[in-house]
């Protein structure tokens, strides 16, 4: 487990000051995981090569999760996640602990868990981003008071996925080089602006390296050069 246990040992009792200290410790641990999990495990979205097939697969999963009304994470997605994360189990374990915390902990830790998962989702490639996304959708449907907290990160992840889909369609038409005469300058300029807008929105949630982070996927590195 990545988080301190929330249940007191049998026969033990916590007085109010100890209970408050325990809650502060839990919130601090959750915050620490959100800030450091990606850097500690070496899992970064900017190192994730998402080819068209991989993007299409996880984009379909994202759409199914969003429309499944609480039953989105199915056996097919679990199998795909395990295959994609083969040999890299640690970040998935962190995400599962934060998922549990978001659903069962005291209120302050629940809020901190959503924030931590948001940072991990934005900094991670697949399948970890989909795992976080599925949690956010579940939280909005669980009627536990976290909809307003989870909705903004769902919206941003949707915007990034939709922007990447549009950009990949444009690359199929114009090519991958911004120096190519096949690229319409106005179309390229629109994507450069969109890249900057999405980067600013991500930065409002957490730090990402602005010269490395690609909100529209690995194929959009050309936008930084433009």
**Joined tokens for residue 50:** 């998402």
pLDDT at 51: 61
Preceding omega of 114 cis (within 30 degrees of 0): no
**Joined tokens for residue 52:** 């068209």
Q: How many CB atoms lie within 10 A of CB 168?
A: 19
Query: What predicted TM-score, i.e. pTM, was given to this entire model?
Result: 0.85
pLDDT at 58: 73
SS3 199: helix
pLDDT at 10: 45
pLDDT at 193: 95
pLDDT at 85: 66
Q: How many CB atoms lie within 10 A of CB 159?
A: 15
* Separation CA 43–CA 89 (nearest Å): 11
Q: How many CB atoms lie within 10 A of CB 80?
A: 18
Q: Mean pLDDT per 10-residue run, the chain (226 residues)? A: 55 75 93 96 82 70 68 65 72 94 94 98 92 91 92 96 92 76 87 95 96 88 78
pLDDT at 87: 65
CA atoms within 13 A on the CB side of 147: 6
pLDDT at 11: 46
Contact 123, 38 (CB under 8 A): yes
**Joined tokens for residue 72:** 């989105």
């Amino acid at each position: 487990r990545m988080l301190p246990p929330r249940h007191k040992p049998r026969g033990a009792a916590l007085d109010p000051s100890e209970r408050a200290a325990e809650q502060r410790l839990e919130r601090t641990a959750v915050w620490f995981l959100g800030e450091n999990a990606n850097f500690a495990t070496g899992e970064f979205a900017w190192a994730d090569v998402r080819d068209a097939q991989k993007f299409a697969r996880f984009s379909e999963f994202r759409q199914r999760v969003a429309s499944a009304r609480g039953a989105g994470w199915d056996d097919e997605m679990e199998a795909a996640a395990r295959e994609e994360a083969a040999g890299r189990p640690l970040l998935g374990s962190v995400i599962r602990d934060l998922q549990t915390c978001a659903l069962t902990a005291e209120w302050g830790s629940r809020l901190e868990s959503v924030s931590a998962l948001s940072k991990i989702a934005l900094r991670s490639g697949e399948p970890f981003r989909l795992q976080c996304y599925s949690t956010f959708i579940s939280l909005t449907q669980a009627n536990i008071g976290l909809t307003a907290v989870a909705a903004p990160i769902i919206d941003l992840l949707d915007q990034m996925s939709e922007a990447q889909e549009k950009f990949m369609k444009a690359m199929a038409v114009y090519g991958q080089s911004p120096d190519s005469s096949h690229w319409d300058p106005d179309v390229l300029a629109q994507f450069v602006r969109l890249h900057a807008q999405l980067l600013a929105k991500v930065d409002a949630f957490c730090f990402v390296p602005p010269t490395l982070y690609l909100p529209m996927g690995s194929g959009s590195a050309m936008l930084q050069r433009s």
